Amino acid sequence: MSDIIRFGISIPADLIASFDQFIAERHYTNRSEAIRDLIREKLVQREWDAKIKGKQVIGTITSVYDHHKRELLNKLTDLQHDFHEHIISSQHIHLDHHNCLEVIIVRGEAEKVRQLADKINALKGIKHSQLTMTTSGLDLK
């Protein structure tokens, strides 16, 4: 673990009042951890935006769809085979008679992973699909 550095910041009173309200809603016990999390969030966002050749990001694509739409199932499977190098694992849950939930864990260059997420989202019959962008954790302390 690296050394802890303390520093002071100047901030308008109404901005810190809003921030304190935010951290209370999120159940933080102090400003420091909330600020550390905001910094980490920005650094993860930077990893996804960096467009560095070979730089690996990690994420999940969560989708809900009706499995009775057979053509959708075929297209979804085809897409996953097209991007097999970027898929670590997937889990399929039958939510009810009609609806399925699928979570795909993805790793690779941000651009490719985003491409897969966009293509899944654009499939006809997908009710909801969302890419969660996270990190390998290697660059975060």
Give the x-and-dash track for 61-90 against Ni ion (CB under 5 A). ------x-----------------------
Least separation in angstroms between residue 138's CB and Ni ion is: 34
- CB-based closest residue to Ni ion: 100
Nearer to Ni ion, 35 or 72 (CB): 72
Least Å distance between CB 66 and Ni ion?
9
Rounded Cα distance between 67 and 95, Å, is 10
Judged by CB under 5 A, does residue 100 bind Ni ion? yes
Total site size for Ni ion, rule CB under 5 A: 3
Q: Binder to Ni ion among 26, 36, 94, 127 (CB under 5 A)? A: 94
The minimum distance between CB 101 and Ni ion, in angstroms, equals 8
> Are 34 and 26 contacting, i.e. CB atoms less than 8 angstroms apart?
yes
Q: Please, what is the minimum distance in Å from the beta carbon of residue 52 to Ni ion?
A: 37
Which residues contribute to the site for Ni ion (CB under 5 A)? Answer: 67, 94, 100
